[in-house]
């Protein structure tokens, strides 16, 4: 085991994935080399997620596996949302951990590494009291074509089930100058797709004099020469204003996809969740998208079995699925989380009932996706080629509306198509992806 090597494993959402890219860049700038196995690393880091109980358990299982390595010169660090949530309790639960650091403190990572190297075995970064965002020149990006850019950190909402406001702190927007400079630099480096990130990108507000809102920022990023696709995630329906749809309509670089998490189709449940919109208000946003100039793919997140959810509430969620016709969705069983308001709610839905509802919901959605994907047979869509599936002899493509469209290329002369944009004709469809043939001869 040599010094100055690190291993990092990342759990959770894209924000975490991108945070890890920044942490990796920062560590490499300090002379650390990344290794692929925790056994080979001097510094072992877990960037954790605590959105549901299962996610939180993962890091403790990992740490448990390495208990016997304690005191052998290996340094363990817990980063991210579990770190922020559990704080110094982690030192008791896993005494071989020396670093506990939440995402709001990554700007201090350099000095924390110095402390660890000096032998300090209780280093923490747990303050949420910061106006700073984690802008670093050292980001180590994973994908050669698509790059994430954080535009806003934290969350000022207080959804009754959610830990994020506690684990990521209050909202902090980056200046538009800083976002634009990063996007231009990425374009110059050859990236063609940009994904703007935040727990609620819609509430982005430029802190500098320009004062851009999210729609204005979207429009400007889409105008950067060399950028062919811009995506963003995630949206809160309450802050999803008409101007965002107008900005998307005005420039096709802004991808044909909106992820608009609804959580429930029942206004009563939405109120209990403190989501700040009714079913009707949500449906108005869906109308904007359905009557827009382009055809947008809409996806969502649903929670089943929130405390007090009745059969009737659940039936309204199923009905909403039919009305909106989502192209895909993430569905979750409600998981009680520390610090959240819903922890005190009575009328818990039993585990078996949550499971039953989840299965019904997923079956219904599967049927919708089979139907909607089949409608695309014969259509031609532009894909960004993301890779190759050797076993199937197919290239892996992604459409602007975020579908996977894998395809064969008849006259390929063996050159890699990765990173190219190509028109593909859809020939077959399944519930989760499409298959096609390249519509041009390369
Ligand atoms: N900021 C995003 C959500 C981030 S968390 C938004 O407002 O939509 C991603 C998803 O996890 C949420 O949309 C929700 O569906 C789910 N989720 C969050 N907390 C949960 C909990 N306690 N139990 C089950 N699912 C949860
Ligand atoms: Fe959580 Fe709600 Fe904030 Fe999304 S908007 S991160 S669900 S509190
Ligand atoms: Fe998980 Fe934190 Fe993201 S709780 S979903 S990693 S913001």
- The DSSP line for 107-129 is GGHHHHHHHHHTT-S-EEE----
pLDDT value of position 1: 40
Q: For residue 78, what are its two tokens?
A: 């817990």
Q: pTM for the complete prediction? A: 0.96
Give the ligand at the shortest distance from the Cα of 338: 1
- Listed residue (207, 192, 114) closest to 152, CA to CA: 207
The residue whose CA is least distant from atom 2 of ligand 2 is 159
Describe the chain by its helix, strand, coil percentages, rounded to 5.
35, 25, 40
Q: 71 to each of 41, 67, 92, how far by Cα in Å?
A: 14, 9, 15
| CA-to-CA dists, residue 56 to 12, 51, 91, angstroms | 10, 7, 15
Between the CA of residue 124 and those of 103, 113, 121, 249, what are the distances in Å? 12, 11, 10, 46
Distance 275 CA to ligand 2 centre (A): 8
Is there an atom of ligand 1 within 6 Å of 303 CB?
yes
* Count of Cβ atoms closer than 10 Å to residue 4 Cβ: 14
Residue 307 is given by DSSP the state: T
DSSP conformation letters of 10-23: E-SSHHHHHHHHHH
Note if the bond before 369 is cis, omega within 30 degrees.
no
For residue 9, the CA-to-ligand 1 centroid distance in Å is 21
Task: Choose the residue to mutate in 81, 103, 198, 332 for probing ligand 3, maximizing ligand atoms within 8 Å of C-beta.
Answer: 81
- Per-block average pLDDT, block size 10, for the chain (442 residues)? 82 97 95 95 96 95 82 88 97 95 95 94 93 87 94 97 97 97 97 98 97 98 98 98 98 98 98 98 98 97 98 98 98 98 96 98 98 98 96 96 94 83 97 94 52
Q: Which pLDDT value is given to residue 70? A: 65
Q: What pLDDT is stored for residue 2 in this prediction?
A: 46
Closest CA to 174 of 141, 207, 143: 207
Q: What is the distance between the terminal CA atoms of the chain, rounded to a whole angstrom? A: 49
Domains defined for the chain, CATH in brackets: 5-125 (3.40.50.12160), 146-374 (3.80.30.20), 380-438 (2.40.50.140)
Find out whether the beta carbon of 238 lies less than 6 Å from any atom of ligand 1.
no
In the reported structure, the alpha carbon of residue 74 is separated from the centroid of ligand 1 by a whole-number distance in angstroms of 34
pLDDT of 354? 98
Which ligand sits nearest to residue 305's alpha carbon?
1
Phi and psi, residue 422, nearest 5°: -135, 145
């Amino acid at each position: 085991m040599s010094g100055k090597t690190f291993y990092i494993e990342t759990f959770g959402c894209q924000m975490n994935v991108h945070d890890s890219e920044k942490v990796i860049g920062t560590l490499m700038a300090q002379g650390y080399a990344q290794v692929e196995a925790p056994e080979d690393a001097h510094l072992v880091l877990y960037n954790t997620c605590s959105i549901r109980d299962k996610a939180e358990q993962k890091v403790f299982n990992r740490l448990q596996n390495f208990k016997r390595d304690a005191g052998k010169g290996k340094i363990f660090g817990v980063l991210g949302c579990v770190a922020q949530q559990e704080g110094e309790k982690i030192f008791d639960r896993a005494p071989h951990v020396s670093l506990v650091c939440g995402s709001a403190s990554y700007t201090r990572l350099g000095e924390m590494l110095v402390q660890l190297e000096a032998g300090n075995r209780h280093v923490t970064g747990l303050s949420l009291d910061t106006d700073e965002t984690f802008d670093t020149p050292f980001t180590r990006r994973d994908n050669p074509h698509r790059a994430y850019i954080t535009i806003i950190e934290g969350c000022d909402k207080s959804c009754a089930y959610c830990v994020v406001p506690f684990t990521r702190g209050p909202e902090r927007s980056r200046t538009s100058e800083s976002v634009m400079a990063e996007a231009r630099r990425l374009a110059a480096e050859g990236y063609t797709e940009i994904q703007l990130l935040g727990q609620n990108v819609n509430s982005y507000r430029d802190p500098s004099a320009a004062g851009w809102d999210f729609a204005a920022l979207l429009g400007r990023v889409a105008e950067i020469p060399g950028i062919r696709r811009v995506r963003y995630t995630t949206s809160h329906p309450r802050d999803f204003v008409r101007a965002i749809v107008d900005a998307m309509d005005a420039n096709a670089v802004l991808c044909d996809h909106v992820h608009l998490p609804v959580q429930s189709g029942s206004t009563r449940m939405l109120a209990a969740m403190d989501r700040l919109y009714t079913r009707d208000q949500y449906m108005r946003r869906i109308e904007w998208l359905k009557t827009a100039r382009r055809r947008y793919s809409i996806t969502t997140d649903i929670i089943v079995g929130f405390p007090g959810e009745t059969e009737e509430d659940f039936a309204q969620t199923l009905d909403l699925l039919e009305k909106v016709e989502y192209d895909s969705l993430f569905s979750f069983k409600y998981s009680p989380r520390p610090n959240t308001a819903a922890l005190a709610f009575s009328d818990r839905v039993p585990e078996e009932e949550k499971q039953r509802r989840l299965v019904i919901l997923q079956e219904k959605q599967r049927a919708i996706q089979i139907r909607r994907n089949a409608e695309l047979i014969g259509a031609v869509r532009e894909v960004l080629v993301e890779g190759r599936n050797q076993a199937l002899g197919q290239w892996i493509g992604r459409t602007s509306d975020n579908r996977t469209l894998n395809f064969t290329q008849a006259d390929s002369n063996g050159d890699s198509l990765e990173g190219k944009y190509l028109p593909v004709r859809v020939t077959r469809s399944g519930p989760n992806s499409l298959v096609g043939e390249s519509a041009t001869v390369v």
